[in-house]
Structure 1
Amino acid sequence: MTTQIKTPKKLIEVALPLDDINMAAAREKSIRHGHPSTLHLWWARRPLAAARAVLFAQLVNDPGYQRELGYGVNKKEAEIKREKLFQIIRDLVKWENTNNEEVLNRAREAIWESWRETCHLNRNYPQASELFNPEKLPAFHDPFAGGGAIPLEAQRLGLESYASDLNPVAVMINKAMIEIPPKFAGQTPVGPLPEGEKQQSMMEDWASAKGLAEDVRRYGKWVREEAFKRIGHLYPKYKITQEMVVERPDLKAYEGEELTVIAWLWARTVKSPNPAFSHVEVPLASSFVISSKKGKEAYVVPVVEGDKYQFEIKVGNPPQEAKDGTKAGGRGANFNCLVSGSPIDGKYIKAEGQAGRMKQRLMAVVAEGKRGRVYLSPTSEMESVANQAEPYWAPSGDVPARLTGGTCVPYGLREWGNLFTPRQLVALATFSDLVEEAREKAVADAKAAGLPDDGQGLARGGSGATAYGEAVAVYLGFAVDKVADSGSTIASWTSQRDTIRSTFARQAIPMVWDFAEVNPLSDSTGNFIGSINWVFKVVDLLPATASGGAQQSDAATQSISLNKVISSDPPYYDNIGYADLSDFFYVWMRRALRKIYPTLFATMAVPKAEELVATPYRHGSKEKAETFFMDGMTRAIHNMAEKSHPAFPVSIYYAFKQSETKEGSTTSTGWVTFLEAVIQAGFSIDGTWPVRTEREGRSIGIGSNALASSIVLVCRKRETNAESISRRDFQRQLREEMPEALETMIGGQTGQTPIAPVDLAQAAIGPGMAIYSKYQAVLNQDGSRMSVHDALVLINRAITEYLSPDSGSFDADTQFCSSWFEQYGWSAGQFGEADTLARAKGTSVDGVKAAGVAESGSGKVRLLKWSEYESDWDPSKDDRTPIWEACHQMIRRLNNSGESAAGELLAKMPEKGEAIRQLAYHLYTLCERKKWAEEARAYNELIGSWHAIVAASHDVGHKGEQQGFDL
């Protein structure tokens, strides 16, 4: 029996259609309805497209593995098979294919095929029955599950999926996405239809979690109606009187009507610092503009009479003073007193807030009209009703005093309950209590509908009526959290869009001076039914296929990962204080769901001491925080290395914070440190793939050094008996192995376009790091261990040498043009200098002039830009065609006539295709380094269109063959 596991390289260790993945990930940011990110807020989620593609490529064998094992597959055949896998990924990452079973089944079949191949290779391994069962795919685990995108996509691809996290809010999000839905897949709704609704069809499709989603909608409507009965009096309508119409003719269409209020706009107030007006509460308004939408402009006008003031609404273009609110224009003050003009500085405001003297004043009312928003002046009745609310419960616990993006604590908002008005507290507590009542009702309805009951809830693994009622309650609880997000005093009104800006518009809890209090019982922005609909649409589209599980666990000590496929997105350094921020939701989630998950919600707040975030205030100093983070992260990654399934690499996402591009490579201190941690944890690194989510087309980032949102590290457990090698041997292996790896990334001979030039510098580090990290150490001449930083320098040098026209794989004319371009761009230089350079490259100035790529005269030499090239150029009739000319003719044809025309041109010189692409990669890197944005864009777009160009060239060739046959 063999004792050595045979581990074929996976696709992710060789090549990816990265441009397609990144475009899909960027597009996904605009998807809202039904996207899992709208189930519950979580910070810095990975795009589903990226997670799905990475997992698929992590699970399927690269077709070239057969060559590694001595099978009779040549490079060309491997490239053709690889292109088929790329096409699966291209289809897989499209949002519209998220639940396309035909596309998903193709992916699942490819995964099964690779798994059975791997099992066959290891059929004689001693633990084959345990590790390599051809009838059962290995399970998946993400030890830093967070928002749950990666575990969800593992489940969608057919794997049993497990998620864990220290944060109970994250655990609940994962339970809601991968653990609960499969338990009730195919379940028909048990709740009664809301009043006035009719059953659509007796044969309605309740596959997957659709029935559960429908019950969430039904019981959600019940909760809303019950809430209206209990607290509806706190949300009065606004009656438009005849007197109002006299002042505001634009309200004529609403005279006598009662309009539903959708938001009350408040300004925080402090007592005037002017002794003469110290009894007056004056507003701290950042702006008086309510709507800046064209044709719907509206603003607040403060009317001051002595020591009193009131607010009125005006329609039309707001003057500058309305845009400024009561903000102070000069230094030394934050605001000005509305009644006296006295400056109000930050220290005074903080002192008033900390003393509990900060209040609020109603500035405006927003109602729902026949054709959009109606902006109304505040009334004493509206303010009085709001002040009548008496909270019977408020969340306790401290708001974080320090956050990267700002905190409201210095202004006296110290506890979570301080972030809400009394009316908001009453509403949220009422909704939370109704979640429990809805649970009881759903359990009873499930039993009445005939659903068997084992008496066990979700926390005990139940799957009957009791658990079903709890499942409905979980999603109702999520809707309450969504209402809290839009229903706090940190939520503001955005005049540009005439809607609410939620509490977490960014990853912070900053002070907000003028806030919007939405009506959760309305049918407009931030309402409860709207929140239910967001949740419903997500649950309706969840796969609910393979089983899944989520639990609270420390990544450094968990044992869930044993013999599982692992992909994870760990927290990065101090970017986001997940535990601090998520307490905002935890306090409401705990109130609504503690009876369902008593252990998970046993603590008063989210655990923080163990959280792997480098927060100096938590650890005493920046140095101690960094040590804590790196030690903990190394232990967690070591745990992955020890427990992961030996047949698969581990993928780890690394999010950049502050990074830079130098000499065509992505570098940062954090990046180098993280690589060191991964290697020290026992991994070798086989891939470094940049995943972008901010791209707008292929040219984003050109000229601005915009970097990847994150890097996916592809890791394998390093052999325990790995040896050390010398620096010279490392450099030799780079020279021998990097060219083939880069050729595969660039796309081989099949026209595939895995990587755009903008991403190549980062992705190409992978194969170089694979060489460096598979050894125990690379030793310098003095015997010291080569650092990751120094290895990266040598790897980047090898990449540059491969792409350089001086590498020997380009003709002499192209080598001259490249060197001249690097020095002068499209500008002219001295003939003598050009002549010397041309001779050194083995050509002449007359030669490159004759080739049609340069002009020479009056002692000057200048390269022609592609727009100056012959428009009717035919390579078959040109007896001197350097790759330089062919490349720029392709750019000219692509820019002027599109991909099909460029394909026709390529069909006339197919043998030059690979050299053209290699030159384009080189020139892009050169232009990006020199910040020549326009030129860089042209080369990047040529590579970005290459797949379509090659396909068009094949079509031309096929038509030519057909025509020849017919003749």
Structure 2
Amino acid sequence: MPKKLIEVALPLEAINKEASSEKSIRHGHPSTLHLWWARRPLATARAVLFASVVDDPGEHLPEDQATRERERLFALLERLVNWDEAKDPDSPTLWEARHEMAKSLAKTLGKAPPRSKEDRAAILALLQEAPPVLDPFAGGGTIPLEAQRLGLRAYAGDLNPVAVLINKALVEVPPLFADLPPVNPEYQAKRQPTDRFPRAKGLAEDVRFYGRWMREEAWRRIGAYYPTLNGKTVIAWLWARTVPCPNPACRADAPLVRSFWLSKKRGKEAYVVPEVEGGRVVFRVKTGSGAPPLEGTVNRRGAQCLVCGTPIPLEHVRREGQAGRLGARLMAIVTEERGGRGYHAPDPEHERVAEHAVPPWQPSSRLPEKALGFRAQNYGLTTHADLFTPRQLLALGTFSDLVAEARERVYRDALEAGLPEDPTPLAQGGRGARAYAEAVGVYLALAVDRLAESGNTLSRWQSAGDKVAGAFSRQALPMVWDYAEVNPFSSSTRNFTDAVEWVAEVLETIPARPPGEARQVNAVEAVNGVPTPPLISTDPPYYDNVPYADLSDFFYVWLRRALRDTYPDLFRTLLTPKEEELIADPHRHGGPDAARRHFEEGMRRVFRNLRARAHPHYPLTLYYAFKQQEVEEDEEGETEAVASTGWETFLQGLVEEGFQVVATWPMRTERSNRPRGLGSNALASSIVLVCRPRPEGAPRASRQEFLRALRTELPKALEDLTRGSIPPVDLAQSAIGPGMAVFSRYSAVVEPDGRPLSVREALALINQVLDEFLAEEEAELDAPSRFALAWYEQYGYGEGPYGDAETLAKAKNVAVSALEEGGILLAQGGKVRLLRPEEYPEGWDPKSDRRLSAWEAAHHLIRLLEGEGEGAAARLLAELPPTLAEGARALAYRLYQMAERRGRAEDAQSFNLLAKSYGHLAVEAARARGAVQEGLFE
């Protein structure tokens, strides 16, 4: 059975770069169809699936040829993960990728490969014989969609009906109506025989047309509740929650305001000024330079009454909220203006209009009493209806009901346009006029959900961007004090027309072939419904990280109202299923221990079934957020970890259910400009585990046998990783793959007393061998560098006693004076300190330096990288002797390890930069020299 590329090598840096940048891509990107939590980037899924199908060339070629062939595949992968290259399903890059996959499939099937990437019929014929891709935890649909984009059949399974609907909208519905022209009468009146609407573009045009009709009809029905201000269209009404002051002599309605800023844009500043008049707070709005007299009235410690100055504990706010005594006051109005936004003081008439809105229907379902990340219930918001104002409920109810009316219009127009009268509904794969009308209704309902995402009382006004941020800025429903109520009929932030356009643009980038299927099913049973053994790739829930079911109820109540007739089985329950959901929620399962057991046992059942049913020729790939990455605070100052703590549990279950981990790939999916990323060494967002079933009859091993095998095999893998310039921040995670490959190939590793070694203990031994590897590389360094390493470990770039330096220098067979002459440290006043990279002199010429060291070279390279960029650093690297250049690379890894363990985050960032850039620098340096030096750039 040939190894696949993903089991051997990946261009990790290129994949991670595109995955990180993908979060800034908006229009047309499938992630914008509907919100889903902890969604993996498309680029990562595309790369993983491609590399899971394509054979590694090392299986059938000599090493030098295999290296060149991998480089060719890497170059293709680097284009394939770029969204601009992949968003058109007929792009040359995608056809080239399909051709490579077809060639590997042909070998497996014993068939003739396609002659070239232009032989599309042969490529498609082979891809039809490829194993279908199954994602049993399909969530936001990333993996099934990218399987379909690559030309593979996609099967999506999920227990959550919101996730199932998203997957149906991405991979199941579009192929049913691929290449059809629009049916709306506006298009039909001007239709030409030469018109072409490839894939789902015709469907997209109908979503736009009937979305416009919904907007116009909604305006006719409820437009009076959205008045203009002085003839200007309102973008948003900004409200502040209020609480009765606890001071018996005051009892004023105290506004709870996080920030009085309205706009922080330079030259367009605007803010609210609260003033007390007659024992009541009134709000004024000021524009121009200046700042609000106070930032806000509430923070994590509590609030303050502006009328009497009495502190208001959060406990008082909670009690009043639970008694139904939280109110709301209009604080400001934002309007559409020529050239931007207008900010205005509250208008009493606008406040009265909002108070008179009466929704004809509202969701009566209750929020969970307790759930991960939920805080709003503490303040009396206990039903889903409590998360919306009456006017928001009126708007969402109106738009939801209009979906059904739009469906009937589409049905009549589809018949008129020539679609057949077929009673088979969309839920059963129908392709006639009725099913087409239901399909358009699905996407219109998703647009209504986009409106709900921001049309609620947990949405904020962002003064930095002059726009509204929806309720789910993170994977939780925290309390929000001052909120923004958007106008769905404006032409600015978060309006309904924009919501429809977002959905239509996604439809235009969907591949819409080959056929796909999305089913509501638990992960254990998901594999049973696939007709042939599948290639399995999945992103399981992350232990106790995201309460998917509780969060998705927010959207489910509106989708159910709009689509219950279209998918009666999917929306048969009042809320999403909870009990079978595989997360470790102590609130739901009766405490942390019971929650852990629920997660462990459920995952083991999943792994057991996947092992039994997966295709034997293809590895299983699993995404997992294996370590806490960061902690975020809510309005109360309470913290929520945003990554899982179930990593060891997850690995233990995999190994015990008979899987062997053959590779691990850290996938970095956070933008480098995000607040947490600046000045830090954040870990990869997730790790992709590549697994194969462990052969039956695998041997047992003792602890010592395992450790010997680890010390034999892991250093070679680590050498390959570091020479491939994997960032030091990811080295420990990447080492898990080859280390666990050794551990998991045994049926068990046992201690001398017969007790089996746990995954936790195995990971500790893998880290031990990693330390030994880095220490061994240190032994190859020159004496000044070994001195500097030892000094840095103890003192960093800070000062230490001269006597200590002299003692250490003698042990390293070097003199302090020689180190100072070599330009790596400063000795004065009885103190010694290492020079920081920025203190190294410009214009350094290694050819004229009589006391060269790898330490000095590494610091000059860091100085140039941080100050002048890769070009300058590459020119310096070209002038360094090979042993010195290699020493600088090794130093970067060793120094990163030291800096991270000592909590020197800024230093670690510099060392990480050098190591991860080294591969590019080496290539550029070779070009600068005109020849590759033997041994340096292999």
TM-score by length of 2: 0.87
AA at the equivalent of 1:176? A
Match of 2:597 in 1: 627
Q: Distance in 1 between matches of 2:192 and 2:811?
A: 80
- C-alpha deviation, 1:599, in angstroms: 0.4
For residues 62-81 of structure 1, the aligned pairs below 5 Å read 62-66=56-60, 73-74=62-63, 76-81=64-69
Instruction: Name the residue aligned to 1:769.
Output: 740
Does residue 1:379 correspond to 2:347, yes or no?
yes
Are 2:36 and 1:42 aligned?
yes
* Between 453-462 and 527-536, the greater mean CA deviation after superposition: 453-462
- 1:545 offset after TM fit, Å? 2.6
Tell me which of 213, 220, 229 is aligned to 2:211. Answer: 220
Kindly report which structure 2 residues correspond to 1:813-832, keeping only aligned pairs within 5 A, or say none: 818-819=789-790, 822=793
Partners of 1:513 and 1:269 in 2: CA distance: 8
**Relative to structure 1, is the Cα distance of residues 500 and 198 closer, same or farther in structure 2, using a 3 angstrom cutoff?**
farther
| 1:586 equivalenced with 2:548 (yes/no) | no
Aligned pair 1:708/2:698, yes or no? no
**Which of these residues, 722, 734, 751, is aligned with residue 780 of structure 1?**
751
Q: Which residue of 1 aligns with 2:94?
A: 104
Q: CA deviation at 1:296?
A: 3.1
Contact 2:680-2:906 within 8 A present in 1 as well: no
Tell me the equivalent position of 1:172: 165
Residue 432 to residue 320, structure 1, CA distance change in 2 (3 Å): closer
Deviation track 1:286-305 (CA, whole Å, cap 9, x = no partner) reads 44443343433334455655
| Structure 2: 5+ residue stretches without partners | 114-124, 631-642, 934-938
Please tell me whether the aligned partners of residues 334 and 344 of structure 1 are also in contact (alpha carbons under 8 angstroms): yes
Tell me if the contact between 1:265 and 1:517 (Cα under 8 Å) persists in the aligned partners: yes
Question: What is the CA-CA distance between 1:587 and the residue it aligns to?
Answer: 0.5
Kept after mapping to 2: 8 A contact 1:594/1:601: yes
CA distance in structure 1 between the partners assigned to 2:112 and 2:691 by the alignment = 21
Q: Kindly indicate whether the alpha-carbon contact (under 8 Å) linking 2:127 and 2:151 is maintained by their aligned counterparts in 1.
A: no
Displacement after TM superposition at 1:815 (Å):
5.4
Q: 1:863 to 1:580 in 2, by over 3 A?
A: closer
Residue 820 of structure 1 and its aligned partner are, at CA, apart by 5.8
Distance 1:310 1:943, change over 3 A: closer
Which of 614, 622, 641 is residue 652 of structure 1 equivalent to? 622
1:220 Cα deviation from its structure 2 partner = 0.6
Q: Which amino acid aligns with 2:77?
A: I
Opposite residue 94 of structure 1, the aligned amino acid is N
Note the alpha carbon deviations across 1:755-801, whole angstroms, 9 max, x for none: 22221121012101100011111122232212222222221222232
Question: Which protein has the larger Cα radius of gyration, Structure 1 or Structure 2?
Answer: 1
Q: What's the counterpart of residue 920 of structure 1?
A: 892
After superposition, residues 311-326 of structure 1 pair within 5 angstroms as 311-316=283-288, 321=293, 323-325=295-297
Q: Answer whether contact 1:15 1:745 (CA < 8 A) is retained.
A: no
| Alignment-derived partner of residue 79 in structure 2 | 91
Corresponding letter in the other structure for 1:267: A
Deviation at 1:162, TM superposition (A): 1.1
Q: Distance in 2 between matches of 1:699 and 1:17?
A: 27
Q: Which residue of 2 aligns with 1:29?
A: 23
Q: Is the counterpart of residue 234 in structure 1 residue 225 in structure 2?
A: yes
| Letter matched to residue 211 of structure 2 | G
In the alignment, structure 1 segments of 5+ residues that lack a partner are: 1-5, 67-71, 124-131, 240-257, 661-666, 962-967
Name the structure 2 match of 1:189. Answer: 182
Range that drifts further, 857-866 or 303-312 = 857-866
SS in structure 1 of the partner of residue 628 of structure 2: coil
How much has 1:743 moved relative to structure 2? 2.8
Matched, 1:947 2:919: yes
Deviation at 1:459, TM superposition (A): 0.4
Q: Is the 8 A contact 2:260 2:295 kept in 1?
A: yes
Q: Distance in 2 between matches of 1:62 and 1:346?
A: 60
| Number of the residue aligned with 1:400 | 368
Contact 2:895 2:908 in 1 (8 A): yes
User: Structure 1 residues 456-465 or 51-60, which shifts more?
Assistant: 51-60
Contact persistence 1:834–1:845 (CA under 8 A): no
2:140 pairs with 1:147? yes
What letter corresponds to residue 28 of structure 2 in structure 1?
A: G
Selected match of 1:532 from 493, 496, 500: 500
TM superposition shift of 1:268: 3.1
Cα–Cα, structure 1 residues 121 and 862, in superposed 2: closer, same or farther, change >3 Å? farther
Q: Quick one: distance in 1 between partners of 2:623 and 2:744?
A: 18
Q: Tell me by how many angstroms 1:914 deviates.
A: 5.3
Q: Percent identity over the alignment?
A: 50
* Distance verdict in 2 for CA 1:525–1:638, change over 3 Å: same
The whole-number CA distance in structure 2 between the counterparts of 1:903 and 1:869 is: 17
Match of 1:54 among 48, 54, 58: 48
Deviation at 1:603, TM superposition (A): 0.5
Which stretch of structure 1 is more off in the superposition, 864-873 or 209-218?
Answer: 864-873
Report the equivalent of 1:425: 393
Q: 1:161 aligns with which of 154, 162, 173?
A: 154
Pick closer, same or farther for the CA change 1:872–1:457 going to 2, 3 Å.
same
**Cα shift at 1:409:** 1.9
| Contact 2:23 2:671 (8 Å CA) reproduced | no
Give the aligned residue type for 2:206: D
Deviation at 1:845, TM superposition (A): 8.7
1:544 aligns with 2:512: yes
SS of corresponding position for 1:396: coil
Please tell me whether the aligned partners of residues 289 and 322 of structure 1 are also in contact (alpha carbons under 8 angstroms): no
| Cα distance change of structure 1 residues 640 and 494 upon mapping to structure 2, 3 Å threshold | same
Q: Deviations over 1:285-334 (max 9, x none)?
A: 44444334343333445565546665443434566555334x499x7x63
CA contact (8 A) 2:258 2:299 kept: no
SS at match of 1:103: helix
Once the two structures are TM-superposed, the CA of residue 954 in structure 1 deviates from its matched residue by 3.9
Deviation at 1:671, TM superposition (A): 2.3
- d(CA) in 1 for partners of 2:487 and 2:864? 58
Give yes or no for contact 1:328–1:343 (8 Å, CA) kept in 2. Answer: no
Structure 1 residue 569 corresponds to structure 2 residue 539:
yes
Superposed displacement of residue 65, structure 1: 2.6
RMSD, aligned CA? 3.8
Cα deviation for residue 723 of structure 1 reads: 1.3
Q: Secondary structure at the match of 2:39?
A: coil
Deviation at 1:590, TM superposition (A): 0.4
Match of 1:837, as an amino acid? A
Contact 2:168 2:517 in 1 (8 A): yes
Structure 2 counterpart of 1:249: none
Cα offset, 1:555, TM superposition: 0.5
Instruction: Give the Cα separation in 2 of the matches to 1:328 and 1:928.
Output: 33
Deviation (angstroms), 1:742? 2.1
Aligned twin of 1:833: 807
| Deviation, structure 1 residue 172 | 0.5
For the structure 1 residues 874 and 635, does the alpha-carbon distance in structure 2 shift closer, same or farther, using more than 3 Å as the test? same
Cα deviation digits, residues 625-674 of structure 1 (max 9, x gap): 111111112212222222221111111111245369xxxxxx99632222
Output the CA distance in 2 between the equivalents of 1:654 and 1:404.
Answer: 19
Q: Which of 616, 639, 657 pairs up with 2:609? A: 639
- Counterparts of 1:603 and 1:778, CA distance in 2: 47
Moved more, 738-747 or 632-641: 738-747
1:718-757 alignment runs, 5 A limit: 718-747=694-723, 753=725, 755-757=726-728
- The alpha carbon displacement at 1:851 in A equals 8.7
Separation of aligned partners in 2, 1:671 and 1:578: 19
- Give the counterpart letter for 1:949 in structure 2: L
* 1:93-140 CA distance string (max 9 Å, x none): 2232232512222222222222333344999xxxxxxxx988611110
Correspondence for 2:472 among 490, 504, 510: 504
Any idea what the Cα deviations from partners look like across 1:914-934, whole Å, max 9, x if unmatched? Answer: 565344333333343344555
Helix, strand or coil: the match of 1:113? Answer: helix
Residue type matched to 1:60 in 2? V
Any conservation in 1 of the 2:276–2:306 contact (CA below 8 Å)? no
AA at the equivalent of 1:104: L
Aligned counterpart, 2:657: 681
Would you say the 8 A contact 1:704–1:931 is kept in 2?
Answer: no
Letter in 1 for 2:71: E
